[in-house]
Amino acid sequence: MSEKKFNSTNTLNEFYLEERCTLNKVLKINGKRWVSEVLILIKQDVSRFSNLNECLNGISDNVLSSILNELVKSKLIEKEIFHQVPLRVEYHITPGGLALTKVMHELCDWGKEYIDYEMRMKPTFTRQDPNY
Amino acid sequence: MSEKKFNSTNTLNEFYLEERCTLNKVLKINGKRWVSEVLILIKQDVSRFSNLNECLNGISDNVLSSILNELVKSKLIEKEIFHQVPLRVEYHITPGGLALTKVMHELCDWGKEYIDYEMRMKPTFTRQDPNY
DNA sequence: TGAGTTACTAATAAAAAAAGGAGTATGAGT
DNA sequence: ACTCATACTCCTTTTTTTATTAGTAACTCA
C-alpha cells in the first residue's frame, strides 16, 4: 500500500494502454489474482466476507477486503449492510458483474480447449517412460 | 528476472488457483500488461519485432521480447525465422491465438458497455461547471 | 576494418502486488 | 468488566512485475 508514483514510466504506460483500448481497463480490474474467483463466488450467492474467506483457501483478509472494495467501486457487486448483532454484510452481483462472468466463462472455455489440449492429448506416463 | 521461490505462499496460491479453474491459467497468460495488445497487433499482421516495437509506444525491448517468447510457448503465435541479411523474423497468429482474440474482443465490448457507461452519461464539462 | 542493420539477451533497478500479522468498532451476552 | 463474533483496516515485509541500460550475434557493404 505504498504511494503510487504518477510520473513513473510504469504509470504512464498504464495510462497509455487504458487510453489505447478499453480492454486494458477491463484486464486492470479482473486480471488480478483472486478477483474472478471472488466475483464468481458472489454470483453463486456466497455473499458474506467470512464465507468467501472459507471458500478461497489461502486468501488473506486484507486482500479479500481490497478486492471487494474494488469490485464495489467498479460496480460489479453491491454491498448491503445489515445493522444487526453481530454485524452482517452481504455482497451481491450487479447486472454488469453478471455480464462479465459470462465473458469470463467463455474465456475459461477457450482455456479448456487450447491450454488443456496438450494435456488431454498426452498419454499418461508409465514407469517405463523416461519422462516418468 | 529474479529466481522464483517455489515454496512461497505467493506461488502456492498461484498453483491453487490454476488447479481450481482454467480461467486462472488463461488470465496468467493474457492478464499481463501489453500482452493482449501484442497479440492483437500480430493478428493484424504486424509481424516483426521492430514493427511491434514501433506500434507500442513505450514498451521496452526486453519486455516485448519476453512477451513474444511467452506467446510462442503458449502456442498463441508462431515464430518463423528467415535466414536473410539482415536477419528477419516473423510472428504469426495460430488458430488458438485467433480464437482468444475473439473472446478478448467480447471482453472489450463488455468494458465499453459497463465501464465507459458512466463517462457516456456524464454531460460534457463547460467553463461554468465547477468541475471544469 | 569499421559501421550499420535486425533481433534479440543479461543484469540491475524501480514500482506494484500479494501476504503476514496485529489491531479496531460495534453491540450482545455472561 | 470481559469475552466473543463479524467484518474489516493499517503497517510492514516479501515476492513479482515492469522498466532501464548496455551489450551480443550474424552478416553486408563501403
pLDDT value, residue A50: 94
Nearest by CB: B16 against A13, A23, A57: A57
In this complex, the nucleotide whose C1' atom is nearest to the CA atom of residue B87 is C6
Q: What is the average pLDDT across A70-85?
A: 92
Q: How confident is the model at residue A120 (pLDDT cuts 50, 70, 90)?
A: low
Does the pLDDT value for residue A127 go beyond 80?
Answer: no
> Cβ within 7 Å of strand C: which of B 59-78?
61-62, 65-66, 68-69
A89-94 — which CB contacts under 8 Å span 24+ positions?
A: A89/A48, A89/A49, A90/A47, A90/A48, A91/A42, A91/A47, A91/A48, A91/A49, A91/A52, A92/A42, A92/A47, A93/A39, A93/A42, A93/A43
Q: What is the average pLDDT across B35-41?
A: 97
Does the pLDDT value for residue B118 go beyond 50?
Answer: yes
pLDDT value, residue A119: 61
As a whole number, the mean pLDDT across chain B is: 87
Does the pLDDT value for residue A34 go beyond 70?
Answer: yes
| Cβ distance of A103 and B103 shorter than 8 Å | yes
| Cβ distance of B114 and A96 shorter than 8 Å | yes
Q: Tell me the chain B residues in contact with residue A111 when contact means C-beta distances shorter than 8 Å.
A: 22-23, 25-26
Nearest protein residue to C27's C1' (by CA)? A85
pLDDT: is B126 or B32 the higher one?
Answer: B32
Does the pLDDT value for residue B55 go beyond 90?
Answer: yes
Pick from B23, B37, B59, B100 the residue to mutate for testing the A interface (most A CBs within 10 Å). B23
Its pTM stands at 0.87
Q: B109 CA to D21 C1', in Å?
A: 39
pLDDT value, residue B116: 72
Q: What is the average pLDDT across A14-25?
A: 95
Does the pLDDT value for residue A88 go beyond 50?
Answer: yes
pLDDT value, residue A62: 92
Strand D atom within 7 Å of B61 CB = yes
Does the pLDDT value for residue A1 go beyond 50?
Answer: no
Strand D atom within 7 Å of A3 CB = no
Which nucleotides of strand D lie within 7 A of protein CB?
A: 5-23, 25-28
Does the pLDDT value for residue A130 go beyond 70?
Answer: no
Q: How confident is the model at residue B7 (pLDDT cuts 50, 70, 90)?
A: confident
The alpha-carbon radius of gyration of chain A (Å, integer) is 19
Q: B94 CA to C19 C1', in Å?
A: 38
Q: What is the average pLDDT across B31-45?
A: 96
Does the pLDDT value for residue B52 go beyond 50?
Answer: yes
As a whole number, the mean pLDDT across chain A is: 87
pLDDT value, residue A8: 86
| Cβ distance of B108 and A21 shorter than 8 Å | yes
Q: How confident is the model at residue B84 (pLDDT cuts 50, 70, 90)?
A: confident
User: Can you tell me the distance from the alpha carbon of A32 to that of A48, in angstroms, rounded to the nearest whole number?
Assistant: 21
- Taking alpha carbons only, the member of B25, B41, B11 closest to residue B74 is B25
* B27 grid coordinates: 488470465
Does the pLDDT value for residue B122 go beyond 70?
Answer: no
Strand D atom within 7 Å of B62 CB = yes
Which amino acid is it at B126? T
